[in-house]
RNA sequence: UGACCGAUGGUGUAACGGUAGCACUGCAGAUUUUGGUUCUGCCUGUCCAGGUUCGAAUCCUGGUCGGUCAACCA
């Protein structure tokens, strides 16, 4: 992981404690289960874009396979033609690949197993473990009982094998309307586990599927497809989220009745992030109702959104590693995700001086019309930091925030009569703040000390701070999109009665502004990463054009001064 | 008011009967031509009550709190 900077000592296997899934796998390997083989899978349903929660699952599933010298599959759980689309299949593959995982030739679709699944359904009927039920969905639900009350058996539960077989075959042929009949497993209507109360295996859907077209009009449910797909692929450890825990008895029941390869389902707690929603349904709503520009809006917690925001695959993998894996509900602090990008970008991002909120500054004793070139460091964290020339002139732009007419005690920047260093250039002294008729400061007049240019002996003089700047005649205007968290509340769903999560939306999650940069960005292409010195990390938006560049703010730098300014009581 | 799962600093996560550690956050300081980075230090924790044991975060019992389950979604 560490490419530059201080060499981090990798912890040895013994030093690093194992999470509960790694413990299970380690024990399985030790006991020779599955011949010591480890094979995992990531099974997305192609009905939406992947988000950071999926990233956790991908890193977990695939990371485990890598760690234990196993294999991992990418499998689309495409059993519901009503909600699934190729657009999603494509985006999912792009995102998984971008995260840094290569599934080789192990790309599968649950729909590839439809025929096998069907054969197994007949097998179950022959064993007397499944039946065609003609109750309506409402009737089935009414008879299912409640978690505290047992259900009642369907009147169709005990029909003969031949009749069941005939009916199922006719269901497949398309002789019935949607909802008219379903195939159900015959288990136990009084089980305390609702999922064991004769779950539906097949439902009739007269819709074409993005892969099987119109070949089928009966589609397997999740329970009927998922475990068997794992088994067909000889998945050893089928890792999923906690809400499927109650499905496990059914998962195991199918394996037992069908006498097929016994994959083992293991559940972990899904990721929750503060100030973020993870529900695909709600994310879709934000997209459809135009609260964001699309699935890849840089404010979205989707992989494609994070990518466009400027996150790197490494930072997301690092994050997944840091958050850990366990079975208890959790809410990860968004600060950890931000820490993860900063950690990575600090090592990689090219430094550039950009002014976003300009205040003109005239160096009155500097020769008019002269331009000199000063050396700027490209990235101080690199073993070979590199240098770049930056033009310096009499009239420059500095950040408005870097000047205060009447500064508080701990403000170290420019103020009347105070000295400051212009990074890579000279030490200047503020002589005068020029105001307009409204009393607003329009420009600053300063003088410079010609002996303090970086590299000269006098440059080592101590000054309280160093600020960034841009030569005004050389300044190039760019568009800058300042993103902030999409939601104001730590838990966006924690809202007043009658309101929904949208009432927690942050109205200031996007501010579009201008920036001025003189050098360092020529030829920068989509998603190239920069640090605007003292401001934050930015990347080139894919919509950016050479003559009209657009930068997205990934995250600000940590800002001790901003924190202090917020808590003036100290 | 059923079944299942869970409970360790502010947030996550370790410790597998023997000194409660790590990361993030927060705070304080050092270094710094980024109030960044880096470095140092500090704050803060085993849900409760019993029991077993020389010894319990860990095992047992009971409670409390939180989550999940009543789609022909996944």
**Closest residue by Cα to the C1' atom of nucleotide B13?**
A324
The 10s digit of each residue's pLDDT in A257-313 is 999 999 999 999 999 999 999 999 999 999 999 999 999 999 999 999 999 999 999
Protein CB footprint (7 Å) on chain B nucleotides: 1-8, 10-16, 23-28, 33-39, 66-74
Q: ipTM > 0.85? A: yes
Here the tokens at position A224 are 């009927």
Angle CA A278–A284–A290, to nearest 5: 120
Instruction: Say if CB A52 and CB A59 are below 8 A apart.
Output: no
Complete DSSP assignment for A251-274:
HHHHHHHHT----EEEEEPPP-BT
> What confidence score (pLDDT) does residue A312 get?
98
Complete DSSP assignment for A151-217:
----TTTT--HHHHHHHHHHHHHT-S-TTT-EEEE---TT-SSGGGSS-EEEEE----BTTTBTS-S
> What confidence score (pLDDT) does residue A10 get?
38
What contacts A173, CB < 8 A, 6 or more positions away? none
> What confidence score (pLDDT) does residue A8 get?
32
Sort residue A290 into left (φ over 0), alpha (ψ -120 to 50) or beta. Answer: left
Sort residue A72 into left (φ over 0), alpha (ψ -120 to 50) or beta. Answer: beta
**Closest residue by Cα to the C1' atom of nucleotide B34?**
A534
> What confidence score (pLDDT) does residue A16 get?
65
Per domain, the residue ranges of chain A are 20-268, 354-468
Q: For chain A, what is the radius of gyration of the CA atoms?
A: 31
- Which ranges of chain A have pLDDT less than 50? 1-14, 570
Q: Identify the CATH number of the domain defined by range A354-468.
A: 2.40.240.10
CA distance A102 to A62: 9
Q: A330 CA to B56 C1', in Å?
A: 26
- Other Cβ atoms less than 10 A from the Cβ of A112: the count is 17
Q: A11 CA to B54 C1', in Å?
A: 36
- Nucleotide nearest A280, CA–C1', reads B74
Instruction: Say if CB A391 and CB A371 are below 8 A apart.
Output: yes
Instruction: Say if CB A355 and CB A399 are below 8 A apart.
Output: yes
Chain mean position to CA A36 = 33
Q: A336 CA to B22 C1', in Å?
A: 14
Homologous superfamily in CATH for domain A20-268:
HUPs (3.40.50.620)
Helices (H), A324-461: 334-348
Q: A16 CA to B21 C1', in Å?
A: 12
Active site residues of A: 45, 270, 280
CA distance A303 to A51: 5
Q: A334 CA to B43 C1', in Å?
A: 22
- Other Cβ atoms less than 10 A from the Cβ of A188: the count is 15
Q: Model's pTM, two decimal places?
A: 0.95
- Nucleotide nearest A460, CA–C1', reads B33
The 10s digit of each residue's pLDDT in A530-560 is 999 999 999 999 999 999 999 999 999 999 9
- Nucleotide nearest A205, CA–C1', reads B72
- Nucleotide nearest A23, CA–C1', reads B16
Q: A500 CA to B27 C1', in Å?
A: 37
Calculate the alpha carbon distances from A42 to A45, A50, A94 in Å.
10, 12, 14
> What confidence score (pLDDT) does residue A358 get?
98
Here the tokens at position A472 are 């005004």
Sign of CA dihedral A55, A61, A67, A72: negative
> What confidence score (pLDDT) does residue A7 get?
29
**Closest residue by Cα to the C1' atom of nucleotide B27?**
A570
- Nucleotide nearest A463, CA–C1', reads B33
> What confidence score (pLDDT) does residue A315 get?
98
CA distance A266 to A256: 17
Q: A161 CA to B24 C1', in Å?
A: 60
- Nucleotide nearest A328, CA–C1', reads B6
- Nucleotide nearest A139, CA–C1', reads B72
Q: A340 CA to B39 C1', in Å?
A: 20
């Amino acid at each position: 992981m560490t490419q530059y900077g201080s060499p981090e000592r990798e912890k040895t296997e013994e030093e690093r404690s194992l999470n509960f899934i790694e413990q299970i796998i380690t024990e399985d390997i030790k006991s020779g289960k599955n011949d010591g083989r480890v094979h995992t899978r990531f099974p997305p349903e192609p009905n939406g874009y992947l988000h950071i929660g999926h990233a956790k699952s991908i890193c977990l599933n695939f990371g485990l396979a890598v760690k234990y010298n196993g294999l991992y599959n990418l499998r689309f759980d495409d059993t519901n033609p009503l909600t699934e689309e190729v657009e999603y299949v494509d985006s999912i593959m792009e995102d998984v690949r971008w995260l840094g995982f290569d599934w080789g030739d192990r790309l599968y679709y649950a729909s590839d197993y439809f025929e096998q699944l069907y054969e197994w359904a007949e097998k179950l009927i022959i064993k007397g473990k499944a039946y065609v039920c003609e109750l309506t969905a409402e009737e089935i639900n009414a008879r299912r009982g409640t978690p505290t009350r047992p259900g009642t058996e369907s009147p169709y539960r005990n029909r003969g094998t031949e009749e069941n077989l005939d009916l199922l075959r006719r269901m497949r042929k398309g002789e019935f309307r949607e909802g008219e009949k379903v195939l159900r497993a015959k288990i136990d209507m009084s089980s305390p586990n609702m999922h064991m109360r004769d779950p539906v295996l097949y439902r009739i859907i007269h819709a074409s599927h993005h892969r099987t077209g119109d070949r089928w009009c009966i589609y397997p449910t999740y329970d009927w497809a998922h475990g068997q797909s794992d088994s067909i692929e000889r998945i050893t450890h089928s890792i999923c989220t906690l809400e499927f825990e109650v499905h496990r008895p059914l998962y195991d029941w199918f394996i037992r009745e069908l006498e097929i390869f016994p994959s083992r389902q293991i559940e972990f707690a899904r990721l929750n992030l503060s100030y973020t929603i993870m529900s695909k349904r709600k994310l879709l709503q934000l997209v459809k109702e135009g609260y964001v520009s699309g699935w890849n809006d840089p404010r979205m917690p989707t992989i494609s959104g994070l990518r466009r925001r400027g996150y790197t695959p490494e930072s997301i993998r690092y994050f997944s590693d840091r958050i850990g894996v366990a079975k208890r509900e959790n809410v990860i602090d968004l600060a950890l995700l931000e820490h993860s990008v900063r950690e990575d970008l600090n090592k990689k991002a090219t430094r550039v001086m950009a002014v976003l909120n300009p205040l003109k500054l005239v160096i009155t004793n500097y020769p008019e019309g002269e331009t000199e070139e000063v050396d700027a460091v490209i990235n101080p964290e690199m073993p070979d930091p590199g240098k770049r020339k930056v033009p310096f002139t009499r009239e420059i732009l500095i950040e408005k925030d870097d000047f205060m007419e009447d500064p508080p005690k701990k403000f170290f920047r420019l103020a009347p009569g105070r000295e400051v260093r212009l990074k890579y250039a000279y030490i200047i002294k503020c002589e005068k703040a020029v105001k307009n008729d409204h009393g607003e400061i329009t420009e600053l007049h300063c003088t410079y000390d010609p002996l303090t240019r970086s590299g000269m002996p006098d440059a080592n003089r101590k000054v309280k701070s160093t600020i960034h700047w841009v030569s005004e005649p050389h300044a190039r205007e760019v568009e800058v999109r300042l993103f902030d968290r999409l939601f104001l509340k730590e838990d966006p769903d924690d809202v007043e009665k009658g309101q929904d999560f949208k009432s927690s939306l942050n109205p200031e999650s996007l501010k579009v502004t201008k920036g001025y940069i003189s050098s360092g960005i020529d030829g920068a292409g989509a998603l190239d990463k920069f640090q605007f010195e003292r401001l934050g990390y930015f990347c080139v938006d894919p919509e950016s054009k050479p003559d009209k560049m657009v930068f997205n703010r990934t995250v600000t730098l940590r800002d001790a001064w901003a924190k202090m300014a917020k808590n003036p009581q100290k």
